[in-house]
Amino acid sequence: MAGKVITVTSGKGGVGKTTATANLGVALASEGEKVVCVDADIGLRNLDVVLGLENRIVYDLVDVVEGRCRLRQAMIRDKRLPELFLIPAAQTRDKSAVSPSDMVRLCDELRIDYDWILIDSPAGIERGFRNAIAPADIIMVVTNPEVSAVRDADRIIGLIEAEEKGPARLVINRIKSEMVRRGEMLSADDVLELLAVELIGLIPEDENVITSTNRGAPVALNGKSKAGQAFRNIARRLHGEKVPFLELEDQGGLLGRLARIIRPRGGG
């Protein structure tokens, strides 16, 4: 078995990298896959709270890299999904405690026994980002339909290409379809046209993401929420399934299409 390494990154902070990593982990593990989530955001640990595993941390990523514990000792098993594990980030160290080759070595060890290794990258384009993408087979760039997030995503996509780690796959998070319909938010089509990159996920804005994070139970555990469904669709696409982008169709519904016909493209 040779597992695949997926790095979730973004450039800009706060667009939903950690949420995406946690939910993708949950979605893949609920399909029976063996998954390890690695928090590479050293010093700003968060994947543990989003997954609801913060009370069970003994060792962390830096302990593994510096040889204070064995890999297995730093892996926290999720009680809801026995095939889901977390390697938490160190909270009291900084990014320089880990090198890109440390990450490659760690992931090569994990690949032997697990199907998917998901790395939650820190924001930015410095050392932490380099660490996170070094072992990646697939890089997912998370963005929001908003100018600063799109600009930073473009920068990151360029860096990923320069490192020959491309093509990046795009996840557009927090889409408010009602605002898109009014022409007051960039649509998924707009973002795709600007970034010219392959799409792998469209996540609607969904209050369930906040309430589920409050509980430490990722939204993908909940079968009914829209965002949870969207994350599960990404997991299916990673398996090569052709899953339609439901939200796109939603935005281009009868009203949206009518509005586009009536309203001239260029505006005033």
Partner 1 sequence: MNRIIDFLLGRDQRSAQLAKERMKLVLIHDRTDISPGEMEQLKDELIEVISRHVAIEPQDVRIEMAQDGRQQRLIADIPLRSVRQRRVR
Token code pair at residue 87: 């390697």
Question: Residue 67: what residue type?
Answer: G
Residue 86: CB minimum distance to partner 1, A: 34
Question: Among 30, 121, 187, 212, which residue interacts with partner 1 (rule: CB under 8 A)?
Answer: 187
Rounded to whole angstroms, the Cα distance separating 76 from 85 reads: 5
User: Of 185, 181, 116, which is closest to residue 144 (Cα–Cα)?
Assistant: 185
Residue 150 or residue 230: which is nearer to partner 1 going by CB?
150
The whole-angstrom distance between residue 101's C-alpha and the CA centroid of its chain comes to: 22
Question: Helix (H, G, I), strand (E, B), or coil: what is residue 11?
Answer: coil
Residue 260: CB minimum distance to partner 1, A: 11
Q: Does 147 bind partner 1 (CB under 8 A)?
A: yes
Question: Among 53, 134, 197, 227, which residue interacts with partner 1 (rule: CB under 8 A)?
Answer: 197
Q: Does 9 bind partner 1 (CB under 8 A)?
A: no
Q: Does 188 bind partner 1 (CB under 8 A)?
A: no
User: Of 124, 186, 125, 179, which is closest to residue 150 (Cα–Cα)?
Assistant: 186
Question: Among 31, 190, 205, 250, which residue interacts with partner 1 (rule: CB under 8 A)?
Answer: 190
Q: In this chain, which stretch among 21-29, 94-102, 193-201, 225-233 interacts with partner 1, using CB under 8 A?
A: 193-201
52 phi-psi bin (left φ>0, alpha ψ -120 to 50, beta other):
left
User: Of 242, 238, 207, 200, which is closest to residue 224 (Cα–Cα)?
Assistant: 207
Token code pair at residue 224: 């009914």
Residues 6+ apart with CB under 8 A from 31: 235, 239
* Cβ neighbours around 6 below 10 Å, total: 23
Q: Does 250 bind partner 1 (CB under 8 A)?
A: no
The contact pattern for partner 1, residues 90-119, with x = CB under 8 A and - = no contact, is ------------------------------
Inter-residue contact 41 to 128 (CB < 8 Å)? yes
Residue 71 or residue 192: which is nearer to partner 1 going by CB?
192
Residue 262: CB minimum distance to partner 1, A: 8
Inter-residue contact 205 to 251 (CB < 8 Å)? no
Question: Among 54, 154, 205, 250, which residue interacts with partner 1 (rule: CB under 8 A)?
Answer: 154
Residue 63: CB minimum distance to partner 1, A: 39
Question: Among 56, 182, 215, 239, which residue interacts with partner 1 (rule: CB under 8 A)?
Answer: 182
Question: Among 32, 240, 244, 267, which residue interacts with partner 1 (rule: CB under 8 A)?
Answer: 267
What residues line the site for partner 1 (CB under 8 A)? Answer: 147, 150-151, 154-155, 157-158, 161, 180, 182-187, 190, 193-194, 196-197, 263-268
